[in-house]
């Protein structure tokens, strides 16, 4: 009797397996196809707005919030808002882009740290820190609804 070729064995095993995967209901990767409920959306918005509020405090130099999060955003007595009266003045929708000041392709987070270190003589904050996320939330919130124009000036 002729022995079945390897190719036949592989096909024989993998084709039914593939069919099983394709036909056996929703997979974890498609889980987000389910619409969020209004209650879930409200909860998400609440989490976001809480972050925006923390970012607002940081942007305006609130000492207690900086202390709580263990950050020193400025040592000149100048808060972000003194130079950028509106957070939207920092044009978050234009990032990432080439930034002359640092001669580098930069993200919003890079520029937040640039201002903290170079302009405000503070201590740079971790990219994934609570303070960075809150500042980012506040700055993006300030331009909600605007069109993304990455790479522009």
Site string for ligand HEC, 68-107 (x = CB under 6 A): -----x----x-x-xxx-----xx--x------x------
Identity of the residue, 49 or 72, whose beta carbon is nearer to ligand HEC in the bound complex: 72
| Minimum CB distance to ligand HEC, residue 124 (Å) | 10
- Got the DSSP string for 61-79? T-HHHHHHHT----SSS--
Q: How far is the CB of 67 from ligand HEC (least distance, A)?
A: 15
Helix (H, G, I), strand (E, B) or coil at 141: helix
**By the rule CB under 6 A, 148 interacts with ligand HEC:** no
* CB atoms inside a 10 Å sphere around CB 129: 15
d(CA 11, CA 5): 10
Interaction between residue 108 and ligand HEC (CB under 6 A): yes
Please name the residue that has the structure tokens 């303070």: 131
Q: Are 116 and 122 in contact (CB under 8 A)?
A: yes
Where do contacts with ligand HEC occur on this chain (CB under 6 A)?
73, 78, 80, 82-84, 90-91, 94, 101, 108, 111-112, 115-116, 119-120, 135
């Amino acid at each position: 009797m002729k022995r079945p070729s390897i190719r036949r064995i592989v096909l024989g095993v993998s084709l039914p397996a593939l069919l099983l995967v394709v036909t056996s209901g929703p997979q974890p990767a498609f889980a987000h196809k389910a619409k969020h409920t209004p209650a879930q959306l409200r909860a998400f918005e609440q989490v976001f707005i809480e972050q925006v509020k923390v970012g607002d405090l940081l942007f305006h130099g609130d000492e207690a919030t900086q202390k709580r999060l263990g950050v020193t955003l400025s040592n000149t007595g100048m808060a972000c808002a003194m130079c950028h009266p509106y957070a939207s003045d920092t044009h978050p929708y234009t990032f990432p882009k080439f930034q002359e000041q640092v001669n580098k392709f930069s993200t919003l987070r890079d520029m937040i740290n640039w201002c903290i270190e170079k302009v405000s003589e503070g201590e740079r904050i971790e990219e994934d820190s609570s303070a960075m996320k809150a500042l980012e939330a506040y700055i993006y919130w300030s331009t909600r609804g605007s069109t993304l124009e990455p790479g522009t000036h």
